[in-house]
Structure 1
């Protein structure tokens, strides 16, 4: 799982923009998240439990023409070879790409469509052994986005 997380951190690092200054870092750390990268071009944080690995990238991007969709496509095309693309879909809140790893785990790339803060784009990698179907996946997307957005000031 940790190898997969590391590889997927690199995917998020491909897209580089100015890091947001409106992330509540203290709240992240209080909730057991590790800050992975806090630089001028990207802010990454993540957490791993027995069931789920979660990596979040937050980007401040001035361009807004379909940027969420572009980020989603970048994650899809930049996935490591051991991550086989399975499907993509979207709901009212996010673009979601599904990947299956050689070890049988699933990675869901979730990119929020709308920004809570102007020019702030959220990209999430959700890694689990579960193969979510559409309705269940929508619930996971909503819950995960709500949690991540709660860390924005």
Structure 2
């Protein structure tokens, strides 16, 4: 889990410094999230739940990419020798990928929103947990996570 967070942080810090203008950073900080990447076109923050699960939210502004491109970019950061893809599916709102990390014995869910409140803005959520969620439960979690994450977007 720490390796995933570190990998995301290192991958995202190759960009310049300054939070995206379409995200309300002060509200995120007020809600006690930990910001791990605050750069020109990317903002990434996380929280750890009482059960040890971790939610990492990343807002990306990119005029030259689609939601699918953003999802694929994060996929390439997740997969390694211990992390294997278990499932991929789409809903009307999300691209959802499910992975299992055999070294950490954790499930990793990558959820990328297809449509954003912000033009050329994309939100991806990485949820790491011991729980093996089915599609229905994962869809419900995705809705909860995205409702909160999108509440920090400026229109």
TM-score (norm 1): 0.86
Structure-2 separation of matches of 1:109 and 1:73: 10
Q: Please name the residue that 2:85 is paired with.
A: 85
Deviations 1:28-64 (A, max 9, x none): 1121101111112421111112332011111111135
Q: Please name the residue that 1:104 is paired with.
A: 105
SS in structure 1 of the partner of residue 78 of structure 2: coil
Q: Please name the residue that 2:74 is paired with.
A: 75
Q: Does 1:133 align with 2:122?
A: no
Q: How many correspondences in the alignment?
A: 150
Structure-2 separation of matches of 1:137 and 1:106: 12
SS in structure 2 of the partner of residue 75 of structure 1: helix
Structure-2 separation of matches of 1:39 and 1:99: 27
Q: Please name the residue that 2:4 is paired with.
A: 4
Contact 2:111/2:125 (<8 A) preserved:
yes
Q: Taking structure 1 as reference, are residues 15 and 85 closer, same or farther at Cα in structure 2, changes over 3 Å only?
A: farther
Contact 1:19/1:60 (<8 A) preserved:
no
The aligned runs of 1:106-125 (5 Å cut-off) are 106-125=107-126
Deviations 1:103-127 (A, max 9, x none): 2211100110001111111111111
Deviations 1:91-146 (A, max 9, x none): 11110111111222111001100011111111111111111101111101111111
Segments of structure 2 that go 5 or more residues without pairing to the other structure are none
Structure-2 separation of matches of 1:68 and 1:16: 19
Q: Taking structure 1 as reference, are residues 44 and 114 closer, same or farther at Cα in structure 2, changes over 3 Å only?
A: same
Contact 2:96/2:109 (<8 A) preserved:
yes
Q: Taking structure 1 as reference, are residues 132 and 112 closer, same or farther at Cα in structure 2, changes over 3 Å only?
A: same
TM-score (norm 2): 0.85
Contact 1:19/1:58 (<8 A) preserved:
no
User: 54-63 or 126-135: which moved more?
Assistant: 54-63
Structure-2 separation of matches of 1:69 and 1:60: 14
